[in-house]
Chains A and B, each alone.
Chain A
Amino acid sequence: MDVLTPRTLDEALRLKSERPDALPIQGGTDVMVELNFDRARPPALLNLNELAELRGWSEENGRIRLAAGLTYAEAMQTPLPALAEASRTVGGPQIRNRGTIGGNLGTSSPAGDALPPLLVCGAQVRMASVRGERTLPLAEFVTGVKRNVLADDELILAVDVDAEPGRQTFLKVGPRNAMVISVVSLALRVDGELTASFGSAGPVPGLVSAPLEDAESFPVQVAAAAAPIDDVRGTAAYRRHALRVLTKRALERCLA
C-alpha cells in the first residue's frame, strides 16, 4: 500500500490522475474502519489532510462555500441552522473533530447526516480533476447506496449552498442522542415554500417540496416520498411513521 500526501491541490489532482486507484482519506472516520477491519485494502491512499485549499468556509454573492475538508465541529459554527444541528448529532466530539462534509459526500451513505441539510439548501457539489472543474446539484451527485458520479481521477473540492437559509431545522431518530447512525433523519427549510429532505429512508436522500399552504398535508407527502427498507436499525413501516412525525415536529418548530 502507498500513502500519497500532496501539499497542494494541484499536486493532489495530478496524483489522483496518475493513481486513480488511490482512495482519498480525509478525517478517516469511514476509511479507517474499513482498513482496521480488513474490509478494504486499497492499493494506495491519498491523504488530503495537508491541503489548505480544502479547509474552512466562505461567503460570496449570496452563497456559502463549504470546503470538502470542513469538519462537523466546524460545520456546527456555520450560519446554516439545519447543517449545524445535524453536525452536532454526528458521532461524539472525537468524530466531529475529524469527520468532514466532503467525506460524507464521498461515502454517499443513505444515512449521511450532512446530506439532507445540504439538499434543502440547494447544494451544488464542486469536483475537480486535471481535466478541469465541474459542478453538479447534490441530488444528481448521489446516484445510489454509497454510489456517486465522482470519476476515478476526480476529487470533491467543496459544496456551495444558499446563504439565506430561511427557517430550518434538523431532526434525527436513533437509540440515543450521541454516537448513532440515524434510523431516519429529516431536514426542513421554510422560506417561500416548504422543502424537506430525509435520510436513511431510501437508497439516496429524498427531497420533497410543496407550497406553504400545504403545511397540513406535508408530513404525509414526505412520508409517501420515502422508500425505506427493513434493516437492523428499524423497519420500513417505522421509518415511514417516524418521518411523518418528524416532519410535523419540524413544521411546528419552523412555523412557530
Chain B
Amino acid sequence: MFGMRIWLRVNGEPVEADIWEGESLLYVLRERLGYPGSKNACEQGECGSCSVMLDGKLVCACLVLGAQADGHEVVTVEGLSEDGRLHRVQEAFVVAGAVQCGFCTPGLVVAAADLLQHRPDPSDDEIREALSGNLCRCTGYAKIFDAVRLAAR
C-alpha cells in the first residue's frame, strides 16, 4: 500500500515517513507523524485550519502533496513555542479570549505569527487581509483581532 518514504524537517527535527503518494502534507503531519495541531476541516484550502509554514511560507497543508515536502522544512503550530513558553500570539489569544471552540485557533495562530513576523505593527486592514484565508465560525473575529493587536504591541 505504502508507496514511498519521505524525509523532512518538522519544527526543527529531522523526521521520515512512509506515505501513500497521493496524500496531503496535512495527512502526513497528523496521521503519520503525530502532529495533530494542524486541523483538518475543508481539505480544499478554504478554511485555513491546517495552516503551516513550508520553507518559511504560510501554506495550507491540505493543498501540499506530502511528497512535495520531501527534503523541505515545515513548522506547525506545535513548533511556535520556544523554551516551553507560548509564542506571543498564543499568549495573546489566551489573554484576549480569542478562542471559543478552538478548532480554527491553530491555523489563525500560525497565520497571525506569520503576519507579525513580516509586519510587526499591522494596520486593521493588514490584519484583515492576512487572516482572510482563515475561517472562524464562533467568534465573529472581534476577539481574534484584539489578540493580534495585543500581540503586535
Interface residues of A (CB under 8 A from B): 1-3, 5, 25, 27-29, 31-33, 35-37, 41, 45, 47, 49, 73, 91-95, 97-98, 177-179
Indicate the member of A29, A37, A41, A98 with the most B CB atoms within 10 Å: A98
* Residue contacts A-B, CB under 8 angstroms, 28 given: A1-B20, A2-B3, A3-B4, A5-B68, A25-B65, A28-B63, A29-B45, A29-B63, A32-B62, A32-B65, A33-B44, A33-B63, A37-B43, A37-B44, A41-B22, A47-B65, A73-B57, A91-B45, A92-B48, A92-B132, A93-B130, A93-B133, A94-B63, A95-B60, A95-B63, A98-B60, A177-B132, A178-B133
Nearest A-chain residue to B52, judged by Cβ: A94
Q: Digit string of B53-74 for contact with A (CB within 8 Å is 1, else 0)?
A: 0000111101111011010000
Nearest A-chain residue to B70, judged by Cβ: A5
- A-chain residues with CB within 8 Å of residue B64 when the two chains form the complex: 28, 32, 98
Q: Which of B24, B44, B111 contacts A93 (CB 8 A)?
A: B111
Bin chain B's interface residue count.
Answer: 20 to 34
* Contact B67–A3 (Cβ < 8 Å): yes
Determine if B82 is an interface residue (Cβ-Cβ < 8 Å): no
B44 CB to closest chain A CB, in angstroms? 5
Q: Which of A2, A37, A41, A93 contacts B132 (CB 8 A)?
A: A93
- B-chain residues with CB within 8 Å of residue A36 when the two chains form the complex: 24, 43-44, 62
Determine if B134 is an interface residue (Cβ-Cβ < 8 Å): yes
B116 CB to closest chain A CB, in angstroms? 13
